[in-house]
Amino acid sequence: MRCLRFPWIVDAASANASHRKPSPVMCAIILEQRVRLPLTRVYSKLIVSSERPITAMRDKTPIREQLAGRKSPSPQRVKPLTLGDLQRGGVQRIECECDWCRHEASIELAPLIEKAGVDATYRDVSRHFCCSVCGWRGISAWPIWPGHNAKRPRRGGVPLPSIRECRAVLEATKVDLSTQRIGRRTACVRALQERWPELTASAALFVVQQLLR
């Protein structure tokens, strides 16, 4: 009779019916087969695993030492946009909007090039834009490229009161200088909102931050 789990093991009773006990030779064969099977499976797993590609082991160096050994990437310098680049791109005018009174206007590119030069950067030139209505220098400007919409969606902000009136209200506001900075700004915001109730808190804070530097 064969064992179901180990089919190569033969029961001693079925091998030799005349002898009830297995012989020492049969016991040795059974023991050898029982020990050899797990070893052969282990050897086969080792052979199969050795045929697979060996991956690199994880670097166990501390993170600080790894970061210290790395080379910082070289900074990529981008050429600033010049008025000559705008002219070669087909731009003829620049749309502007005042951040204070929301006045909109357009500036021709040709007079700017005659005054500032072709090599002048667009960023430096746009910083010198000034509103012709309120005199504010915070101007949002964007060039009109060929094939693009000249008008961008409005930001939805209401025009602020005139700069002179805002300065007069801030100068007339009595603020205790011993209080902290946030307390003085809160008092100025309340004074502006009392003078102009339609003025939002964010707009009043913008006025305070710009005029009380």
pLDDT of residue 149: 66
Percent of the chain with pLDDT over 70: 62
Q: Which residue has the higher pLDDT, 112 or 9?
A: 112
pLDDT tens digit sequence for 55-73: 556 666 677 777 777 776 6
* Four-residue CA torsion sign, 8, 11, 14, 19: positive
Give the range with max mean pLDDT: 44-48, 75-79, 206-210: 206-210
Can you give the length of the chain in residues? 213
Which residues is 93 bridged to in the sheet?
Answer: 108
Question: Quick one: pLDDT band at residue 18, thresholds 50, 70, 90?
Answer: very low
Output the pTM of the full model.
0.56
Pairing of strands 93-98, 104-108: antiparallel
Q: What's the distance, CA 209 to chain centroid? A: 28
Going by the DSSP 8-state scheme, the letter that residue 7 receives in this structure is: T
Mean pLDDT confidence for 101-128: 91
Q: Which residue has the higher pLDDT, 200 or 73?
A: 200
Q: CA–CA separation, 178 vs 30, rounded Å?
A: 99
99 CB neighbour count, 10 Å cutoff: 18
Q: CA–CA separation, 60 vs 176, rounded Å?
A: 60
pLDDT tens digit sequence for 140-192: 898 998 887 666 655 556 788 999 999 999 988 887 767 788 888 899 999 99
